[in-house]
Amino acid sequence: MFGHRSDLPLKDDASTRFLPWLVAPMVFLCAVALAGVFILSTLINRWDRDVSGTLTIEIAAAPGEAGESAEQTRIRVEQALRILGGTPGVADAHALTQEQLVGLLAPWLGNSELLKELPLPAMVDVTLQPDIPVDLDALGKQLSQAVPGASVDDHRIWLARLIGLSRSIEWLAIGVVVLIGGVTSATVFYATRSAMAVHHEVIEVLHLIGAADAYIARQFAERAFTLGFRGGVVGLGLTLPVLAAIGLGAHKLKGGFLADLSLPLSGWLAVLSLPAFAALLAMLTARATVHRTLARMP
Amino acid sequence: MRRETADTANVVQFHGVGVRYEHGPEILQDIDFSLPAGSFHFLTGASGAGKSSVLRLMYLAQRPNRGRIVLFGRDVGTLRRYQMPALRRRIGVVFQDFRLLDHLSTLDNVALPLRVAGASEQDVRKFVPDLLDWVGLTDQIHAKPPTLSGGQKQRVAIARAVIGRPELLVADEPTGNVDDQIAMRLMYLFEELNKLGTTVLIATHNENLVSRLRHPRLHLEQGHLRLG
């Protein structure tokens, strides 16, 4: 791969021949974990973007006969809208129509005419200005005092919990990637040590005729790079169908809360670069191992 | 090639050198000698007298337990690790057991010191075949060591030791596996190299060779060195 000749018979070496078959599953696992990190990160960003700039005001339906209740509820909604309109940081506030409310419940209760007869609570969809902070506690108190049955549903509370959980999973996946890198490095370390033991006599001759440590290390490092890259390509080959299947599954969801399960471009680039990273890691580990071992020679 | 300005008269100096292995007795005791630049010496002594140990100290394969070794005007004990390869390249070594690399051809074995020193392939193709011709191995240029006879391996080992035109050549029984005719031819090669300025030290049992060539001898006996 590097075009340098090798004085060491590493190509025929049984002690390192297995290396690609160890690197391949490592790269596969790493790619899956990395893809998970990118997909989660995309999801979190989308949730954050979609939800954190909004909140919902729920106003319980006023008691009484159907007509009277509806009128009272409408008055309460108008009161709430007035308060919201005078609150700094509120960009927009509008009540959901009866049809919109029924539409929200339809997936659970069906599209029955009966739904329209039910005393449904009113909902006010509020959009906040991103650059002006709103004291949600104070707003909640003000609304509940002025408008009977009004409560603020701040999405940020549950979203923060969800994002916290997702971030934990994200860090766990990063930890898995680091761990896999460590295991790969350890595998290369022992394979290199084993190869050095096998070729001890050749190494000693090279050492005694004046080969610098770097000259010997380069030969091991280049071999490790080649084997690491081969393993990486095989691992990537195993990963691509899995990622394609996840992408296909995500496409079928078509919107909704779990949409965007497909890997973003940056994720694809990261996954596709894994064979090169595996090769680089193998090369650097082999080089460091050889230098460390040679340092014990006189 | 760099030459030292300090004490250029002596290429090798041993001062009170002692060597022991593990916790055993000293096999070399108070070794004091120097090899002037351009000199030719034999190193003699019975088997186990410590000839190979003296050579190993000279080609930096081991360090003494005590005493001081100065090579090319530099105290070996004070050298940093990264300085050692350059010093080793100034020394040609013929190992007693040849130590050829079985997976490489004769040409590649002989070319090793040049490649290690960063020589171009053009230089390798230019110098190695000429030297192999000189040691009578042109027809074995692509052969690998396992297919060579003992004598042929010996000549490959010698060619490898001299290809880099070393300033110091140390050889451990270089004629042990060849007949007298080849032995003399190899000795003449060493003498030719010596005439070009290389300091030569040859460890040998071959008294016939020592007496015919009339070079000064260093004799090892019971761990002590005597100049002959």
Q: What is the helix, strand, coil percentage profile of chain B, to 5?
A: 40, 25, 35
Is residue A241 located within the same domain as residue A273?
yes
What's the pLDDT at B41? Answer: 95
Domain stop point among A148, A181, A216: A148
H helices present in B59-105, as ranges: 84-88
**Are B89 and B113 contacting, i.e. CB atoms less than 8 angstroms apart?**
yes
Residue carrying structure tokens 């940081």? A89
ipTM of the complex: 0.89
Query: Phi/psi at A203 (nearest 5 deg)?
Result: -60, -40
Q: Pick B61's closest partner by Cβ from A9, A295, A298.
A: A298
Q: Percentage of chain B with pLDDT > 90?
A: 61
pLDDT band at A286 (very low <50, low <70, confident <90, very high): very high
Question: Where is pLDDT greater, at B39 or A65?
Answer: B39
What's the pLDDT at A69? Answer: 76
Q: Pick A209's closest partner by Cβ from B62, B103, B112.
A: B112
| Chain A residues near residue B82 by CB distance under 8 angstroms | 212
Radius of gyration in angstroms for the set of CA atoms belonging to chain B, rounded to a whole number: 17
Does residue A241 carry a pLDDT above 80? yes
Is residue A281 located within the same domain as residue A249?
yes
Is residue A205 located within the same domain as residue A287?
yes
Is residue A166 located within the same domain as residue A36?
yes
User: Any CB–CB contact under 8 A between A6 and chain B?
Assistant: no
Q: Pick B85's closest partner by Cβ from A7, A201, A210.
A: A210
Is residue A35 located within the same domain as residue A137?
no
Structure tokens at B90: 């100034």
**What is the CA angle B197-B200-B203, rounded to 5?**
175
| Chain B residues near residue A12 by CB distance under 8 angstroms | 103
**Are B74 and B5 contacting, i.e. CB atoms less than 8 angstroms apart?**
no
Does residue A230 carry a pLDDT above 70? yes
**B38-62+85-227: which CATH number, 3.30.1360.120, 3.30.420.40, 3.40.50.300, 3.40.50.2300?**
3.40.50.300
Is residue A267 located within the same domain as residue A165?
yes
Is residue A109 located within the same domain as residue A248?
no
Per residue in A83-126, pLDDT (tens digit) is 988 888 888 988 888 888 878 777 777 766 776 677 778 889 98
Query: Phi/psi at A36 (nearest 5 deg)?
Result: -60, -45
Is residue A114 located within the same domain as residue A198?
no
User: Any CB–CB contact under 8 A between A49 and chain B?
Assistant: no
Q: How many domains does chain A have?
A: 2
Q: Looking at the domain assignment, is residue A56 inside a domain?
A: no
- As a whole number, mean pLDDT of residues B131-138 equals 90
| Chain B residues near residue A206 by CB distance under 8 angstroms | 112, 116
Specify the DSSP element, H or E, that contains A128: strand A122-128
Residue carrying structure tokens 């105290």? B75
Is residue A103 located within the same domain as residue A165?
no
The residue among B69, B79, B88, B94 with the most chain A CBs within 10 A of its CB, best to mutate, is: B88
pLDDT band at B6 (very low <50, low <70, confident <90, very high): very low
Q: How many CB pairs under 8 A join A and B?
A: 52
Is residue A174 located within the same domain as residue A73?
no
**Are A81 and A93 contacting, i.e. CB atoms less than 8 angstroms apart?**
yes
The residue among A12, A206, A209 with the most chain B CBs within 10 A of its CB, best to mutate, is: A209
| Chain A residues near residue B113 by CB distance under 8 angstroms | 209-210
Closest residue in A to B82 (Cα) is A212
Is residue A34 located within the same domain as residue A74?
no
Is residue A126 located within the same domain as residue A166?
no
Q: Pick A208's closest partner by Cβ from B59, B81, B104.
A: B59
Per residue in B19-43, pLDDT (tens digit) is 998 888 888 999 999 999 999 999 9
Task: Among A158-172, A185-199, B175-189, name the one with the lowest average pLDDT.
Answer: B175-189
Q: Looking at the domain assignment, is residue A1 inside a domain?
A: no
Residue A19: is it exposed, middle or buried by C-beta count within 10 angstroms (0-12/13-18/19+)?
buried
Domain stop point among A125, A148, A171: A148
Q: Looking at the domain assignment, is residue A215 inside a domain?
A: yes
B139 CA to chain A: closest CA distance, Å?
22
Query: Phi/psi at A80 (nearest 5 deg)?
Result: -60, -45
Per residue in B84-129, pLDDT (tens digit) is 999 999 999 999 888 999 999 999 999 999 999 999 999 999 999 9
Range of the domain at A132: 61-148
User: Any CB–CB contact under 8 A between A12 and chain B?
Assistant: yes
Domain stop point among A89, A114, A148: A148
